[in-house]
Chains A and B, each alone.
Chain A
Amino acid sequence: MSAPLLHAADVRKTFVVRDESGRRDELVAADGVSFTLATGGSLALVGESGSGKTTIARIVAGLETPSGGTVELLGEARTGGRVSRAVRKRRARQVQMVFQDPYGSLDPRQTVAACVEEVLREHFDGDRCWRRERVASLLQQVGLEERHADQRPRRLSGGQRQRVAIARALAVEPRLLILDEAVSALDVSVQAQVINMLVELRRTTGVAFLFVSHDLGVVRQVTEDCLVMHRGRVVEAGPTADVLDHPADAYTQRLLSAIPRPGWQPRRRTAEVSDA
């Protein structure tokens, strides 16, 4: 197998937190996380809130620097600190990210078209006419209509905003798209539409997905591989179907048994459920 698209080895991230009395304390958000994502693959990061999945996603995107371990994209290690314009642009072409909050993901002052066009202008030499066509085709690709192009985010629904965020991310034609709870804030019917659109996107463009979610049902639809995280550690990894159908780890089993389904009796919240 050639160099994988993404390889994370022993990634560790600690945050320094201070309590009311000002005492320093360390919060371990990720501890010894390793995984590999092949070109065009799709990997899910699942786990409950606070399990460190978003931290891993942000490290892969380059928005956080790991406290330890390495992240390699196309065989090139990510380094923190200041980078040149050329490196910045090359990284943008490698990884893009869609965020959880549809309301904060777009500049409230920019129209949909301007938002996507700004990215195009930064990365491609095409003239205005080319950009306009490209914007139109990107919006079409994510299921938006032409009339949305001149609207500001205020007038768009949550689902439409996430589509714009996805179009903006796709504008640079990235190799890897990180979706950080990208559909969690949407209501179920809109969620289903966006998920179908994402599956279709990956089929047509060959972009790889790093799909962060707490929703196991969605994970099954979108990803082939799956990584279960609990308290900053990977507790189980493997093909999504195997992990979800035959969970080996006790935590994964509890996570699965917490999914509401017909005839399901919610268990009382006990220390046993939230604690390992």
Chain B
Amino acid sequence: MSALPLPPVAAFRGRGGRAVRSLAEDKLLLASGAVCVAIVALALLGPLLASGSPSRTSILEANLGSSSQHWLGTDALGRDIFTRLLYGARLSLAGPALIIAVSTVLGTGAAITAVWVGGRVERVLNRVLDVLFAFPALLFAILVVAILGTGLVAPVIALSIAYTPYMARVVRSVARRERSLPYIDACQLAGLSSWRICSRHILPNVFGVVRAQASIAFGAALIDLAAISFLGLGVSPPAAEWGLMVANGSTALLNGYPQECLAAGACIVVTVVAFNLLGERLAVRSEGRR
């Protein structure tokens, strides 16, 4: 696993000016959206659905296959994998959610400010973004973990900073196009304040792209965080977390019991694909709307 470069949203254009289908007809958007909602709902309600405790060990029940008692089998310590996946979902999704929230706010704010003020401020921001782009996100996270110690906080801080330029770059290009339209000139001539023009006119008009990019970045952040947990730099072992479960299951995998690795890996893949598809469809729609 490595840090995936985020594809800029502009790459996903509707094909050949085809009219954007109505929401009900956009099956891919609905399906990926439904999966995303289901995943988040399971994460929130998980502990209610699960029967046992995620940390109840039982040496006698180690490495069991799937059965009516343990739907997805058990891990090397005899813990129920399905229960651990449900409990782990919260931790696995909360990290990326925090990262995306912070980097979206910072990136969008910086991009709109730079485009609005222009001149030297914009040039300085461009240089800062170039410098940030030069850091591989995962390496940067490992560096911060080395300073702040393992846990969820350090990687989340590091990845929030690392993801900000990706958001800023995409928003900047759309905001610049918006800024050049005459309705923004008209707002200025009407005497509206800069704050009002940026927050009420530019921001709502770039929001479609922000939303799409945030969804795509969510998947990438999930993978990065899982990789950090896999490397043992994230949350510590007794906790249930998908990346950690993949790491944990790797020993059992070599012994011929792949169920923990597969189950946790599948959760990561399904979630990432669902959020990527959602982001891609949202991007196409926000493009087609103009």
Contact = CB atoms under 8 A, between A and B. Distances in A.
A104 B190 contact: no
Nearest to A101: B182
Contacts of A109: 204-205
A172 interface: yes
B192 interface: yes
A168 B188 CA distance: 12
Contact of A122 (B192, B289, B290): B192
A92 B185 contact: no
Contact of A107 (B183, B188, B191, B290): B183
B182 A61 contact: no
Interface string A117-143: 011001100000000000000000000
B186 A165 contact: yes
A107 B189 contact: no
Interface string A43-64: 0000000000000000001110
Contacts of B290: 108
Interface string A96-111: 1101110011111100
Interface in B168-184: 181-183
B13 interface: no
Given A85-B193, A108-B205, A63 B188 contact: yes
Contact of A104 (B182, B191, B200, B201): B182
A95 interface: yes
B185 A88 contact: no
B205 A99 contact: no
A29 to B, nearest CB: 17
B191 A122 contact: yes
B51 to A, nearest CB: 48
B181 A104 contact: yes
The main secondary structure of chain B at its interface with chain A is helix
Contacts of B191: 88-89, 91-93, 122-123, 172
B189 A63 contact: yes
Nearest to B191: A92
A92 B187 CA distance: 10
Nearest to B202: A107
A248 B200 CA distance: 50
A118 B193 CA distance: 12
B186 A99 contact: yes
B36 to A, nearest CB: 25
Interface string A62-103: 110000000000000000000001001101110111011100
Contacts of B192: 118-119, 122
Given A99-B182, A99-B185, A101-B182, A107 B190 contact: no
A171 B189 CA distance: 12
Contacts of A168: 186, 190
A79 B276 CA distance: 49
Interface in B188-221: 188-193, 200-201, 204-205
B205 A97 contact: no
A113 to B, nearest CB: 15
B183 A105 contact: yes
A97 B183 contact: no
B221 to A, nearest CB: 29
Pick from A89, A104, A107 the residue with the most CB of B within 10 Å.
Answer: A107
A165 B190 CA distance: 11
A99 B183 CA distance: 9
B190 A122 contact: yes
Interface string B270-290: 000000000000000000011
A119 B188 CA distance: 11
Interface string A138-165: 0000000000000000000000000001
Contacts of A119: 190, 192
Contacts of A165: 186
A99 to B, nearest CB: 4
A61 B205 CA distance: 25
B185 A107 contact: no
A242 to B, nearest CB: 32
Contacts of B201: 107
A97 B189 contact: yes
Nearest to A110: B201
Nearest to B289: A108
Given A104-B181, A104-B182, A108-B205, 13 more contacts: A63-B188, A63-B189, A99-B185, A105-B181, A105-B182, A106-B183, A107-B183, A108-B289, A119-B190, A122-B191, A168-B186, A169-B189, A172-B191
Interface of A: 61-63, 85, 88-89, 91-93, 95-97, 99-101, 104-109, 118-119, 122-123, 165, 168-169, 171-172
Interface of B: 181-183, 185-193, 200-201, 204-205, 289-290
* Closest 4 pairs (CB-CB, A-B): A92-B191, A99-B182, A104-B181, A89-B191
12 contacts: A61-B189, A63-B185, A89-B191, A93-B191, A97-B186, A99-B182, A99-B185, A101-B182, A106-B183, A107-B201, A118-B192, A165-B186
